[in-house]
């Protein structure tokens, strides 16, 4: 029932900002063959509760994207 603007804001703050920052630093990590990325999530990304749809979905996306990053970066010593 929430307005789409709430969803856009939650994904911008909770996911896309981290994606944009990672896109900036990733080439340096690849070049140096090392790096660490720490993403902060929430238990709501794994077990949502009522009235947290947009926030919980953005954190679930963060969790899955972080796993994908680990798989992409592993061979480059990026964790």
Residues labelled as active-site residues: 55
**Residue found under tokens 């080439």:** 27
What SS3 class is residue 78? strand
Alpha helices in 12-79, H assignment, sequence order: 17-32, 53-73
């Amino acid at each position: 029932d929430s307005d789409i603007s709430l969803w856009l804001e939650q994904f911008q703050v909770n996911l896309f900002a981290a994606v944009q920052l990672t896109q900036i630093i990733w080439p340096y990590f690849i070049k140096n063959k090392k790096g660490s990325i720490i993403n902060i999530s929430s238990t709501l990304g794994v077990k949502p509760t009522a009235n947290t749809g947009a926030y919980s979905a953005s954190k679930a996306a963060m969790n899955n994207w972080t796993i994908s990053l680990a798989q992409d970066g592993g061979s480059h010593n990026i964790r």
